[in-house]
Amino acid sequence: MELYTPEKEKYLDIKQLLFYFIDNTIGIIIVGLLCGVLLGCFGFYKAQKNVDNNGNNASLQEIMNINRINWGNIDTSVTADAFNNPPAGSCMANAKVYVDINYSSVEGRDNLDFYAINTRFQGDIVTLTGSNEIKQRVIDKLSLNTYDDMKNLSLEDMRMMLNIYFSGVSIMQISVIDVNPERAVAISNAIAEEVVVYLADYESVDSIKIYEPAKLVYNSIQTADSNNGNIKGVAKYGTIGFVAGCFIMLGFLFLVFIFKDTVRTEADLAELGLNIFAIIPHKEKKKETEYKRLKYDISFLEKNALAVLPVDETVQMKDFNEYLLGENKHSCKLVATDGVVENPEAIVKAKECGAVIMAVTFGKTLTKNVIFVKNELKRANVEVVGVVILDALHI
pLDDT in tens, 59-98: 899 999 999 999 888 877 777 899 999 988 899 999 999 9
In terms of average pLDDT, the best of 95-99, 228-232, 360-364, 388-392 is: 95-99
Please check the confidence at residue 327 and state whether its pLDDT lies above 70.
no
The average pLDDT across 171-176 equals 96
Strand order in the sheet with 162-167: 162-167, 171-178, 91-101, 205-219
- Strand residues in the chain grouped as ranges (E): 2-4, 9-11, 91-101, 162-167, 171-178, 205-219, 276-281, 305-310, 333-336, 355-361, 383-392
CA distance 214 to 217: 9
Tell whether 112 and 138 lie within a shared domain: yes
Indicate the residue type of 97.
Answer: V
| One domain, residues 142 and 234 | no
- C-alpha–C-alpha distance, residues 322 and 201, integer Å: 112
Q: Mean pLDDT for the chain?
A: 84
131 CB neighbour count, 10 Å cutoff? 16
What secondary structure, in 3-state letters, does 20-56 show?
A: HHHHCHHHHHHHHHHHHHHHHHHHHHHHHHHHHHHHC
Query: Do 210 and 243 share a domain, yes or no?
Result: no
- Cα dihedral 182, 183, 187, 193 in deg (nearest 10): 40
Rounded distance between C-alpha atoms, residue 108 and residue 183, angstroms: 46
CATH number at residue 332: 3.40.50.300
Domain that holds residue 84: 60-221
- Give the pLDDT band (50/70/90) at residue 172: very high
Is the same domain home to 117 and 213? yes
Cα 232 from chain centroid?
Answer: 12
> Is the pLDDT confidence value at 195 over 80?
yes
Specify whether 89 is located in the same domain as 133. Answer: yes
The pLDDT tens digits of the residues spanning 138-158 come to: 999 999 999 999 999 999 999
In the chain, how many domains are there?
3
Tell me: do 245 and 274 sit in the same domain. Answer: no
- In sequence order, which residues have a C-beta less than 8 Å from that of residue 53 and are 6 or more positions away? 88
pLDDT, residue 321, reads 76
- Nearest alpha-carbon partner for 59 in 187, 155, 153: 153
Same domain membership, residue 179 and residue 270: no
Length of the chain, in residues = 395
Does the structure show a pLDDT above 60 at 42? Answer: yes
**Residue 151 identity:** K
pLDDT tens digit string along 290-326? 888 888 888 788 778 888 888 888 888 887 777 776 6
Domain identity same for 76 and 217:
yes
Q: What does residue 254 show for φ and ψ, rounded to 5 degrees?
A: -60, -45
Cα 340 from Cα 333, distance rounded (Å): 20
Largest CA distance in the chain: 133
27 plus 129 within the same structural domain: no
Residue 342 has pLDDT above 70, yes or no: yes
The DSSP annotation for 58-109 comes to PPHHHHHHHHHHHHTTS-TT--S-TTTSPPTT-EEEEEEEEEEE--TTTTT-
What's this model's pTM, rounded to 2 decimal places?
0.52
- Tell me which of 127 and 114 has the higher pLDDT: 127
